[in-house]
Amino acid sequence: MPPSSCAICSSRALIVRPKNHQKLCKSCFLSIFEEEIHHTITTNTLFQYGERVAIGASGGKDSTVLASVLKTLNERHDYGVDFVLLSIDEGIKGYRDDSLETVKRNAVQYGMELCIVGYDELYGWTMDQVVEQVGKKGNCTYCGVFRRQALDRGAAKLGINHVVTGHNADDIAETVLMNLLRGDLPRLSRTTHIITSSPSSPIKRSKPLKYAYEKEIVLYAHHKKLDYFSTECIYSPEAFRGSARALIKNLERVRPSAILDVVRSGEDMAKLVPEEVSAIQRCAGKNEAIQEGGGEEGFGGCGSGGGRSSGGEMIDMERRLNENEAAREREIDIAPANITSKDTPPIQKITVRQQGARTPRKLPRQHMGQCIRCGYLSSQEICKACMLLDGLNKNRPKTKIEVSLEDGEGSSALKG
């Protein structure tokens, strides 16, 4: 069989694009990958000329590719953006130690400023300490909630109001499916927006890799010989995410466009989420969603674990749903049963008793306010991060470490 030629320039094709199986040569692949991201950036007007933007950098493949591509495009298309690398040190031994070294090298390679914010400084707890206390199960909740605030606080410290993250199409597709499985329409709706912002936090988030396939990101990093840290987060993703991730991988195998198609479905479904469910006040920008600060927009805190998980979250949810169901059944039983007479056929009898179940249940409307502790946007009086911290601190064995949430801006987190 003769070697295939590149679909664009006719030189020898070396790469089959995971996204659509198009055969390309190396340089055409690199440039189409970059130009698609440029396309995403320009059609959504992600950046303003002269803006300072923080790249949430973990040292992993996604954020490293993001930083590299943004540097390239910034120079090629003169975005006029001042990019800064912003890293979070969760305090996971053997994970962040090495990946932070990678980020430090990236800062030199890309000539970008670097800022590292530690969980210990922000919350008084490293992830290792959290895991020691709560066990491996459920630690992703902490990781995700803490990380979100950490990035915003780090950005605020730098006087930056825009953070870009490396979430890719696979992440978004996975989150769409996961939120369907979890029954979380508000999150599903938020997930699919390319820009998210919250009224109480001046920090805007965006996802320039929203339509980029994970496999292509890996290919890009490989062919550009990028320096990234490839060990994945050692803490397992929660069961719903693990389950959705496995399904996405299978779907992609059967139909490569499936990842993009799920993202598209997610965008369309976001428009179908009733206002009272979504708790989103749509603002001027068409692609913007306002989101609750306390929770990650449905992305687990930990990068891409192996998909192994205990299933604990699913078991918990199954139990909760069962209890709700039982409560509903009890309500039905109180409905008039007096009509049942001996000669009524059983079916008719049941019909009457079931009537109580028809009243549609009111959906609790979420009211957005600010956390009374830290001022973060929250639907509750106390935000998720502060609640998690309360729980942690209550059970902390002895010396209670003061949490520097109030004066987070004061303490130095600049390490890089």
Contact map string, positions 28 to 67, toward Zn ion, x by CB under 5 A? x---------------------------------------
Scan residues 240-259 and list those touching another protein (CB under 8 A).
243, 247, 250-251, 254-255, 257-258
**91 or 295, CB closer to Zn ion?**
295
CA terminus-to-terminus distance, the chain: 52
For residue 190, the partner it binds in Zn ion, another protein, none, with Cβ less than 5 to 8 A by kind, is none
| HEC readout, 360-414 | CCCCCCCCCEECCCCCCEECCCCCHHHHHHHHHHHHCCCCCCCCCCCCCCCCCCC
Give min distance, CB of 87 to Zn ion, in A.
22
Scan residues 50-89 and list those touching another protein (CB under 8 A).
none
Scan residues 135-164 and list those touching another protein (CB under 8 A).
none
Q: From CA 251, how far away is CA 261, in angstroms rounded? A: 10
For residue 351 the two structure tokens come to 């019909």
| Cβ proximity of 187 and 274 under 8 Å | no
Scan residues 14-33 and list those touching Zn ion (CB under 5 A).
25, 28
Q: From CA 232, how far away is CA 96, in angstroms rounded? A: 10
**65 or 383, CB closer to Zn ion?**
383
**The tokens 């305090």 sit on which residue?**
91
User: Which residues have CB under 8 Å from 38's CB, separation 6+?
Assistant: 73, 76, 77
Phi, psi of 164 (to 5 degrees): -105, 140
Give min distance, CB of 131 to Zn ion, in A.
22
Scan residues 284-313 and list those touching another protein (CB under 8 A).
287, 311
**270 or 389, CB closer to Zn ion?**
389
Does 409 bind another protein (CB under 8 A)? Our answer is no
Does 196 bind another protein (CB under 8 A)? Our answer is no
For residue 40, the partner it binds in Zn ion, another protein, none, with Cβ less than 5 to 8 A by kind, is another protein
| Cβ proximity of 91 and 127 under 8 Å | yes
Residue type at 138?
G
Does 108 bind Zn ion (CB under 5 A)? Our answer is no
Q: From CA 165, how far away is CA 85, in angstroms rounded? A: 11
The DSSP secondary-structure symbol of 329 reads: H
Q: Which residues bind Zn ion (CB under 5 A)?
A: 6, 8-9, 25, 28, 371, 373-374, 376, 383, 386
Q: Which residues bind another protein (CB under 8 A)?
A: 7, 20, 22, 32, 35-36, 39-40, 43-44, 169, 176-177, 180-185, 194, 210-211, 243, 247, 250-251, 254-255, 257-258, 260-269, 271-274, 277, 287, 311, 314-315, 317-318, 321-322, 325, 329, 345-348, 350-351, 354-355, 357-358, 363
